[in-house]
Structure 1
């Protein structure tokens, strides 16, 4: 995979990124402990026949390197934009999940009209007491036993009706897959950032047409966080889905459909207006 050198607030970084497909650019930003393929595998397959897909490995994932200093949303946004620049994308659509939604929003706030549209799933503007306590617990479990963290994530991030729970064997396969995806040192650095996110001041600077997706069954980052994001991003559209935090993992076709529909329907010019909540979609 290609790599690009960029400068962060703490020093140089070399960012690995996925680059596939051709056509109008779409940049994907993965969540905590994930990878582009793990987070967006089906979406990448759907997009690449008509779009150039760029998906950076944020610090803590893949072979991306940096100084090892504590992470910041601004620095991860720099990595996202460096990958887009290196891939030759002057304008692009931007999609983020969980921590990736926070980073994507910050990147959009920095980019003005370079971002054609913005899709934010399961993100948040500010880490409150509950989020900070949750991610601190995840970090402690990661240090003790990666498999234990994988079990907790599956039990809290997925809906009870997800196919991952259809039988014991399926559940154990998913536990093994998630445990293998987590990288103790890198994921721990991302979790520390999760505890301290505060991008509320940046969200009003977003000028791209934005879709904020909230899972009604999300107990990891509950819907009130996405509601606040939608209130702060001018003219954002808020859509509720009957899903948990792991929506892109447990319902990849549905997630991809929402993303591609919004990308296809984006308008060349945007007139900011009030937030427009959508009714919950059927499960």
Structure 2
């Protein structure tokens, strides 16, 4: 995996990113506790023959090693831009999920000359008290009990209709996989959860010039749909699309997310 030096608060981050494919640039930004390649596997597979895909690992995730400490929105944006430029992209389409959606919107506002289109799923402008309460719990569980956090995420990130179709074996298998992921990145997940509480992208939104698709999951119990409505109202040229799923759409129904991203990209190419 390529590594690029990124100047950030406190020093230099050794930022890892995944790159594949050929064609116009497409940068994918992952959510809390994930990594670029893990979050976006089905989308990478579906679109890798049409785009040069770059998926950076944000501070606290994957192969990125940063100085530690609080994660700021400008440092997160710096990782996205540095990975894209190191991969040779002059400009790019941008897709983000959850924390990645927040980072993607900030990137589009800070660097409107670089971003050709923006697709953001499950994003928000600024965490409200309910979300702060939730992310504080994530932070505590990430450090003290990753297995409990894995079970909490399953019950809140996956849509209720999908959960009704699962048997006991599916719950246990998914919980074990989540636990392995979280247990290997306790400090990073905790730092990203803290960033979720404090990030505010209000100032960047009016400067977004790219055609924007805001995707909102109707059964999102982590970042409720009114947050995506708020984003769409504040971003010029934004369209809001509601889909039947939970917050964890990339894992719950990757085919649906891939189809909606591909449709938006086809419209703006």
Q: TM-score range by the shorter chain?
A: over 0.9
Quote the residue 1:131 is aligned against: 131
Match for residue 255 of structure 2 among 234, 238, 253: 253
User: Cα deviations across residues 233-267 of structure 1 (Å, max 9, x unaligned)?
Assistant: 11200011111101111000010000011011116
User: Cα deviations across residues 74-93 of structure 1 (Å, max 9, x unaligned)?
Assistant: 10110000000000000110
- Alpha-carbon offset, residue 144 of structure 1: 2.1
- Decide which structure has greater helix share: 2
Unmatched 5+ stretches in structure 1: 268-283
Quote the residue 2:98 is aligned against: 98
- Alpha-carbon offset, residue 109 of structure 1: 1.1
Alpha-carbon distance in structure 2 between the residues aligned to 1:10 and 1:105: 24
Give the conservation status (yes or no) of the 8 Å contact 1:97–1:122: yes
- Paired positions, count: 267
Confirm or deny that 1:150 pairs with 2:150.
yes
Deviates more, 1:119-128 or 1:105-114: 105-114
TM-score relative to the length of structure 1: 0.92
Could you say what secondary structure the match of 1:195 adopts? helix
Give the conservation status (yes or no) of the 8 Å contact 1:159–1:244: yes
Alpha-carbon distance in structure 1 between the residues aligned to 2:160 and 2:240: 24
Confirm or deny that 1:225 pairs with 2:227.
yes
- Alpha-carbon offset, residue 6 of structure 1: 1.3
Give the conservation status (yes or no) of the 8 Å contact 2:135–2:194: yes
Quote the residue 1:197 is aligned against: 199
- Alpha-carbon offset, residue 163 of structure 1: 6.3
Quote the residue 1:81 is aligned against: 81
Could you say what secondary structure the match of 1:116 adopts? strand
Structure 1 runs of 4+ aligned residues shifted over 6 Å read none
Which residues in structure 2 correspond to 1:113-192 (within 5 Å)? 113-162=113-162, 166-182=166-182, 183-192=185-194
- Alpha-carbon offset, residue 161 of structure 1: 2.5
User: Cα deviations across residues 170-206 of structure 1 (Å, max 9, x unaligned)?
Assistant: 1111111111222101100000101112111111111
Give the conservation status (yes or no) of the 8 Å contact 2:14–2:64: yes
Could you say what secondary structure the match of 1:143 adopts? helix
Quote the residue 1:32 is aligned against: 32
Could you say what secondary structure the match of 2:202 adopts? coil
Alpha-carbon distance in structure 1 between the residues aligned to 2:194 and 2:164: 28
Could you say what secondary structure the match of 2:222 adopts? coil
Unmatched 5+ stretches in structure 2: none
Q: What CA RMSD, in Å, does the superposition of the two structures yield over aligned residues?
A: 1.2
